[in-house]
Amino acid sequence: MATVSPQKAGCNLAKELTSAGQLMLRVNGVLHDVKCKDPLMSLAEYLRTILQHCGTKLMCGEGGCGCCVVVVEYDDPVRPEKRIESINSCLCPIGSLLSLKNHNVTTIEALGSVKKGLHPIQQRLADYNGSQCGYCSPGFVMQMYGLLKNDANPSLQEVEDNFDGNVCRCTGYRPILDAMKSFVKDSSNWQKGFFIDIEDIKPCSKTMKLCKRGHLKIDGRCTGAAMNTAGLLFSSKEIKWYQPGSLTDLYLLMREHCEEAVKLVHGDTAKGVFKKDGPYKIFIDVKGIPDLYMVTMEPSGLKVSSNVSLNSLIDYLKQYSAQSPSYNVIASHLLKIANSPVRNAGGWAGNLMMRWQHREFVSDVFVVFEAAGAKVTVTDVSDVNTYNLVDFLNVNMQGKFLVCVEIPKLTKGESMRSYKVMPRNQNAHTYVSAAFRAKIIVSNKKQLVQSISMVYTGINKDFIHAAATEKFLGGKDLISNDTLQGALAILDKELVPDDADPLLASAAYRKILAQGLFYKFYLSLLSDDIVSPRNQSARYSLERPVSTGSQTYSSKPEEYPLTKPMPKLSARLQTSGEAQYIDDLPLLPNELFTAFVLSTEGNATLTDINSTAAMTMPGAVAVLTAEDIPGSNTFMPPPNVVEEIFSSGPILYAGQPVAMCVADSQEHALQMVEKVVVTYQDQKPPIVSLDEAIKQKSFHPSPGPWIQVGDAVSAVSNSPCKVDGEIRAGEQYHFYMETQICRCVPTEDGLNLQASSQWLTLLQEAVADAVGMQAKNINVTAKRLGGAYGGKATRANLVACAAAVAATVLHRPVRCKMDLSTNMMAVGKRHGYAVKYKVGFNKDGTLNGIIITYYCNSGSSPNDNEVEESLIFSDNAYKCDNWQLIPVALKTNRAPHTWCRAPGSKPNIFVIETVLEHVAKFLSMDPIIVKQKNLYAQGDRTPMGFILPYCSIRNLYASQLTKVDVAGRIETIKKFNADNLWKKKGLAVVPLKYCMYWSWGCYLCTVSVFASDGSVIISHGGIESGQGLNTKVAQVCAYMLGIPIDTVFIKPTTTDSSPNSAATGGSITSELNCMGVQSCCEVLKQRMKPVKDKLPPGTSWKDLVAACYQAKVNLTAQDWVWPDPRPEGAPQYNSYGVTVAEAEVDVLTGENQITQVDILFDCGESMNPDVDVGQVEGAFIMGMGYWLMEKMVYDPKTGAVLNAGTWEYKPPFSKCIPVSFNIELLKNAPNPMGVLRSKASGEPPQCMSCATLFAVKRAIEAAREDTGQDTYFPLHGPATVDVIQTSCLVDYKNFTI
């Protein structure tokens, strides 16, 4: 690989390099020759594997997570200016950059570093505590960098809109948004420090034109001409890559290859959705053709050429919006397509071609263009034709390409509206999109329809126009209800949604949604004085203001650094992209890469694995199967049930690993997988659902005894009031940004593994068994995890064992990394539940007896069963004298489910909250009051048999109701609901009692002081995964020893330094390791005291240490932390909290937003309020996703995961968080049973997140009351948009003017 320094990157040199046959790609100001590289290689892969710029992360490979974002600058093809765009480097082939004149790719490395100084964005994100695990941080930084490079003074709204393509699973987004909003000059509420301009605009010394180069240290010379030749850039047996520089060149290429499979490349973002398109032999990069960027405002409308990106089109539509009101409508709709980096790269023409090639594709470009009456021009070398969008779908595009689209202006009397309803309000494809255009003539107090266009997508692949309804409305008077109902009745008949795809929302929902969208448009055509006041709310969509939040807590400056609110110690490394994760490790000589071969059957027997074709692929090294495992074929060591590394025959679920391909690169290994042929026999219908498992009595062995307190059966039967019901809580993918990964290196005495694992001891044991070695020969290290949430406790063993097997068999270093799809298919999720209950109670709502049966879907293995252990959370904060709690572990043909943040506790608390809600509905009482009546008091005994000695929940509950004015807000909500038929609001309150047990945790902690300078290193048994463990440990050490915190350093966790340690999880790891370090420091202080007493007062720490060393004092202390169980099975302590959530729902669509959340949480005396607030927020937002968005979808025939990627699986984004998000850590609440008076914060707050679902449920109840259906109904989780709307019982026959 040739590189050229920035000082030599002048215009003349560019021409010289081109003439010499080099193809130059400029990254961070440095030119690199990519002539010998595959032009289809993604920019992300090139940056990471070739240039070793590993600050750019890679996760989804679909443009759906944002961790790979970089910024590209290049000459505008039409205007004399630079274009600056953030793009997803995972989707961008390096070949497509070569057609961008004077391009430069800027990565996180170019912005700043800890040693050289951070860029202001990097610094702010760290200072605002906006980085927890840190894996997503470079993507957020680069996305903000791209925004500020284009606009040094964005508005608060523009900042908040900017992150529609970035996922963060840890923080809950609030601190990230606050950090980015601090760059808004008028954002005094967010600003910490002075605004810093990031632009350094200077004239180019070569051209003397303004050149935006940011702060890159490039000699003042720009590459003033295109570096690359037009025509053929790359040729091999497999593909040819062309780069035409004119339309003529393109015409000739299209004619030359008219009989071949040709792919025109612009943004190439379609591969994020349709990964298996092709194969193509001919690739033609059209970005170097200036004529295809032309945009002109013609008398008839806006003419836009086919190279114009979606974001550029949006800008043009806004620029010319005065020419036609429809342009703003279209622009607003296009803003809902994908995300900003995708819209920067992808164009309208590519979107239409996706619709042309895949009729089922829900193209929003097609919808709004067709409704607007747009026409596209299609050409080849000999002909030019213009088509409307419907006719375009039937054009034979072989040898042809889109040249332009003309979007007409609205004529007098015309109106246009469009709607897109999505599972999530950012970066999601549509359930149903619709666009309407109508021309209305007012005559004799009538509003007559002269013409109307009604266009839909999401109904079925062939349905475009509601033609019969359009025809009916012609000449009709809109003011008449008969017209409305007549149109709806016809629309009801012609809407026939496809219901065959399990990934689609129900046909019933999409049908009523389509009718509701038409109703919205219909009312928008009428004036306020015509539309009923209660119906006015149907006309507008939910408007989300800029989010805000508050964080309230106390600290003790006299104890700093303990209790000091401060960012994580590694925050700056993370925001600068310097924090190293396993896949960032430099390649070792002869290192190999792997990819799993997964079963496509869910219940069968494996008969053969044919790898012949796979071994002919480039870079192929081996295909390993169960027969190659030198030790035990299980990644769960005894006494666990066997879970095979590679199936030896039995297939227990679709997605189960059956083999592993090993190659010289990750891409080659994945290509090998496609060639492996697996055959099966004895195929049987798999048990996929909970209902099937219950019906077939497919159970794992009993997970544990029932909990029986008193006589629940008699108490229920003898109660004056009783109800029974069923409630469900679904599964949840952990969505750690760093997927499962491990690198294994053979050594002279065994194996060294770098593992992304929460439980090194278990992993060490599993690997030792798999390769037939002793534990002493297996050394495992974990420095940091890019997210985990329980998903890397036991499940990380699979990739570790597979890597170890490959490394042992092949005697080479092996990196085993799951891509996102494999991870979602092969690895289990949060357990799903179906719960049946009976409850008896008095007329005042007090509980008498509760019977609950928990059916827990454990998947195909019971190893990570949680249903019995989580019964301790079944009571939450409520007293009842009689309980019967029955755990049942269901056996299904799914990947074995595993622990996920707040395992068992989150669904169990949701269940008892549902019970109280049901009781309240039966009695026609406010659930808030019923819950308050049943709260525990100090001294009460729980069904687990222990007494509550420090119970504050009653006081906290009453205090929170008053503090956030629940009573006043409920009255306001009642009035709103009475005034509005089609928008509803709701408010819910959820209290919390969370039992914190320490006795299962054990960790070895070591504190060592260096005699030379007094610096301190600590090793412990916990794993830093973003929760701030290392920061709290360092704070405790610095506090105990009375030294600056920057004197303390935490070493990576290893099985050498901290053997036999328990898993990091359950929210106790920070506490127990802090306890261990506290004990170590006490030992050191005691050892040092005799020496200190002999020294003069005020002796420095450094001198004290030196004196102790001379006195032969041992400056290393260890502590083995393993607390004993407390009497009566009591927890170490209980955490308490109260959450109030308020929601608003669009009844016609199911769209919703959480308008306000107020959390009061008892964190004891927080060791670090910044870290603990971050834990509260992140846990809560992850919980919100579980209850309102994240739905796992399985193939009912095979059990295969159908939504294994970001296209279909939807965790929360930044605009999903509460509009007003307020956190208060309870003040003056030291915990006498905690470490240094603190309490844990990682999991308990998530258990209150169901308040958001119940707030939505209140809104649904208000809608149902309007239909006369005021009876109890269960709202299962997740309550997605479609579920919410159908629960509102909307009937088009009730639509009126």
pLDDT digits (tens, 9 = 90+) for 686-733: 999 999 999 999 999 988 889 999 999 999 999 999 999 999 999 999
Answer for the pair 75, 101: CB distance below 8 angstroms, yes or no: yes
Tokens of 1067: 């929210």
Q: Name the CA radius of gyration of the chain, rounded.
A: 31
Residue 846, burial from CB neighbour count under 10 angstroms (0-12, 13-18, 19+): middle
Tokens of 259: 């009989």
Model pLDDT, residue 222: 43
Answer for the pair 713, 881: CB distance below 8 angstroms, yes or no: no
Model pLDDT, residue 850: 98
Q: Where are the beta strands (DSSP E) in 664-715?
A: 677-681, 707-709
Q: Report helix, strand or coil for 489.
A: helix
Answer for the pair 327, 315: CB distance below 8 angstroms, yes or no: no
CA distance linking residue 1159 with residue 964, whole number of Å = 10
Q: In DSSP terms, which residues pair with 780 in a beta bridge?
A: 753
CA distance linking residue 346 with residue 337, whole number of Å = 10
Q: What confidence tens digit (pLDDT) does each residue in 888-908 have?
A: 999 999 999 999 999 999 999
Phi-psi region of 1168 (alpha: psi -120 to 50; beta: other; left: phi over 0): beta
Tally of CB atoms within 10 A around 19: 9
Query: In the structure, what pLDDT confidence band is assigned to residue 16 with cuts at 50, 70 and 90?
Result: very low
Going by the DSSP 8-state scheme, the letter that residue 425 receives in this structure is: S
Using alpha carbons, select from 679, 694, 494, 550 the residue that is nearest to residue 604: 679
Residues across the chain:
1297
Q: Is the pLDDT of residue 1155 over 80?
A: yes
Model pLDDT, residue 188: 56
Residue 1011, burial from CB neighbour count under 10 angstroms (0-12, 13-18, 19+): middle
Cis peptide before 502 (omega within 30 of 0): no
What is the dihedral angle through the alpha carbons of 871, 873, 877, 883, rounded to the nearest 10 degrees? 0
What is the dihedral angle through the alpha carbons of 1221, 1222, 1223, 1229, rounded to the nearest 10 degrees? -160
Q: What confidence tens digit (pLDDT) does each residue in 423-447 have?
A: 999 999 999 999 999 999 998 889 9
Residue with tokens 């375009």: 392
Please tell me the number of Cα atoms within 13 Å of 952 on its side-chain side: 21
Contacts of 645 (CB under 8 A, 6+ apart): 626, 629, 633, 634, 635, 657, 770, 798, 801, 802, 805
Model pLDDT, residue 210: 33
Task: Report which secondary-structure segment, H or E, holds 523.
Answer: helix 507-524
Tally of CB atoms within 10 A around 1086: 10
Q: Where are the beta strands (DSSP E) in 997-1151?
A: 1003-1009, 1016-1019, 1048-1050, 1053-1054, 1116-1121, 1133-1146
Q: Report helix, strand or coil for 1091.
A: helix
CA distance linking residue 1123 with residue 262, whole number of Å = 67
Using alpha carbons, select from 798, 785, 689 the residue that is nearest to residue 737: 785
CA distance linking residue 624 with residue 609, whole number of Å = 10
Q: Is the pLDDT of residue 208 over 80?
A: no
Q: Report helix, strand or coil for 748.
A: coil
- In the sheet with 1133-1146, reading across from the earlier edge strand, the strands are 548-552, 1220-1225, 1152-1161, 1133-1146, 983-996
Tokens of 231: 């025509």
Pairing of strands 883-890, 814-817: unpaired
Instruction: Give the CA distances from residue 462 to residues 364, 394, 458, in Å, rounded to whole numbers and listed in that order.
Output: 15, 12, 10
Q: Is the pLDDT of residue 201 over 90?
A: no
Contacts of 436 (CB under 8 A, 6+ apart): 371, 416, 417, 418, 452, 453, 454, 455, 518, 521
What does the pLDDT average to over 265-290?
93
Answer for the pair 348, 405: CB distance below 8 angstroms, yes or no: yes
Phi-psi region of 373 (alpha: psi -120 to 50; beta: other; left: phi over 0): left
Model pLDDT, residue 187: 55
The one-letter amino acid code at 209 reads K
Tally of CB atoms within 10 A around 399: 17
Answer for the pair 66, 339: CB distance below 8 angstroms, yes or no: yes
Query: In the structure, what pLDDT confidence band is assigned to residue 381 with cuts at 50, 70 and 90?
Result: confident
Answer for the pair 1158, 960: CB distance below 8 angstroms, yes or no: yes
Tokens of 546: 């800029």
Q: In DSSP terms, which residues pair with 725 in a beta bridge?
A: 837
Answer for the pair 655, 808: CB distance below 8 angstroms, yes or no: no
Q: What confidence tens digit (pLDDT) does each residue in 748-803 have?
A: 999 999 999 999 999 999 999 999 999 999 999 999 999 999 999 999 999 999 99
Answer for the pair 427, 341: CB distance below 8 angstroms, yes or no: no
Residue with tokens 């996706």: 354
CA distance linking residue 93 with residue 116, whole number of Å = 31
Contacts of 677 (CB under 8 A, 6+ apart): 608, 609, 610, 613
CA distance linking residue 696 with residue 705, whole number of Å = 22
The more confident residue out of 269 and 213 is: 269
Q: What is the pTM of this model?
A: 0.96
Answer for the pair 870, 905: CB distance below 8 angstroms, yes or no: yes
What does the pLDDT average to over 937-962?
96
Q: Report helix, strand or coil for 971.
A: helix
Query: In the structure, what pLDDT confidence band is assigned to residue 22 with cuts at 50, 70 and 90?
Result: confident
Query: In the structure, what pLDDT confidence band is assigned to residue 192 with cuts at 50, 70 and 90?
Result: very low
Contacts of 132 (CB under 8 A, 6+ apart): 170, 171, 568, 1026, 1027, 1028, 1174, 1178
- In the sheet with 707-709, reading across from the earlier edge strand, the strands are 707-709, 883-890, 847-857, 832-841, 721-729
The one-letter amino acid code at 1139 reads T
> Measured between alpha carbons, how far apart are the two ends of the chain, in Å?
69
Residue with tokens 């081109």: 18
Answer for the pair 8, 50: CB distance below 8 angstroms, yes or no: no
Residue with tokens 């295909």: 623
Give the dihedral sign, CA 1041/1042/1048/1053.
positive
Task: Report which secondary-structure segment, H or E, holds 370.
Answer: helix 364-372
Q: Is the pLDDT of residue 10 over 90?
A: no
What does the pLDDT average to over 268-280?
91
Model pLDDT, residue 420: 98
Q: Is the pLDDT of residue 1 over 60?
A: no
Answer for the pair 1223, 1229: CB distance below 8 angstroms, yes or no: no
Using alpha carbons, select from 342, 47, 43, 27 the residue that is nearest to residue 166: 342
Averaged pLDDT of the chain: 94
Q: Report helix, strand or coil for 975.
A: helix
Q: What confidence tens digit (pLDDT) does each residue in 1252-1278 have?
A: 999 999 999 999 999 999 999 999 999
CA distance linking residue 351 with residue 314, whole number of Å = 14
